Amino acid sequence: MTATTTATPTGRISMTTIATRVVWFVVWAFVTVFAWFEVIKHGYLEGSAIDAIVLTTVAVGAFALPDLTFLVGVGQPVEKGYLPTRAVPYYNAMHRFLPPLLLTLIVGVGLAPLEPAGLAVFVAGLSWMAHVALDRAAGYGLRNPDGSR
């Protein structure tokens, strides 16, 4: 389920694309609220100051992490609107929904009894999913091998 920004010949975005973006927006809202609920509950309400700092840092860092793949292409000449070809495989790998979902379900839930490590992995997976869902809601999909959209 990938949103596209391709307009119809009349210049309008299809209803399927709009519906897909709405679904991704709902997914983004859900995983974002869930991640911050975990951070607030286990970090600020029930945890220590260190727990709060660590969980907040993990949540923000995991949300930003997928876009750090742009750094792989630093120094490679590229046209405006394109991603350097060297960075494309990393960008695409970090902008798929399945890896953070598996990280959250298998590692995060499996390590949950080993607090706080399991909780940190769980929050990281939720934040990573939130990033991917927000990108899809905004109409950003995976890149083509030449770096174009």
pLDDT of residue 65: 95
* Largest distance between two CA atoms of the chain: 57
Dihedral angle of Cα 37, 42, 43, 47, to the nearest 10 degrees: 160
C-alpha–C-alpha distance, residues 122 and 110, integer Å:
9
What's the pTM?
A: 0.86
Give the pLDDT confidence score for residue 62 in this predicted structure.
Answer: 96
pLDDT computed for residue 112 by the predictor: 66
Cβ neighbors of 67 (< 8 A, separation 6 or more) are 131
Does some domain include residue 105?
Answer: yes
Whether 106 is in a domain gets the answer yes
Tell me the residue range of the domain where 54 lies.
15-137
Enumerate residue ranges in the chain where pLDDT < 70: 1-11, 112-114
The verdict on residue 4 lying in a domain is no
d(CA 30, CA 133): 10
111: its two tokens: 């390590």
Report the pLDDT value the prediction gives residue 4, as an integer from 0 to 100: 46
Contact at 8 Å (CB) between 118 and 100? Answer: no
Give the Cα separation of 81 and 64 in Å (integer). 20
The dihedral of CA 80, 25, 3, 142: what is its sign? positive
Domain-located, residue 147? no
Residue 10 confidence (pLDDT) = 61
User: What whole-number distance in Å separates Cα of residue 83 and Cα of residue 86?
Assistant: 8
For residue 36, tell me if it sits in a domain.
Answer: yes
Q: Are 30 and 132 in contact (CB under 8 A)?
A: no
Q: Where are the alpha helices (DSSP H) in the chain?
A: 15-39, 49-64, 88-94, 98-102, 109-110, 117-137
**pLDDT at 78 (0 to 100):** 86
pLDDT for position 123: 92
Radius of gyration of the chain from its Cα atoms, rounded to whole angstroms? 17
28 within some domain: yes
- Considering the domain boundaries, does residue 7 fall inside one? no
Q: Is residue 29 part of a domain?
A: yes
Q: What is the pLDDT of residue 6?
A: 52
Q: How many domains does the chain have?
A: 1
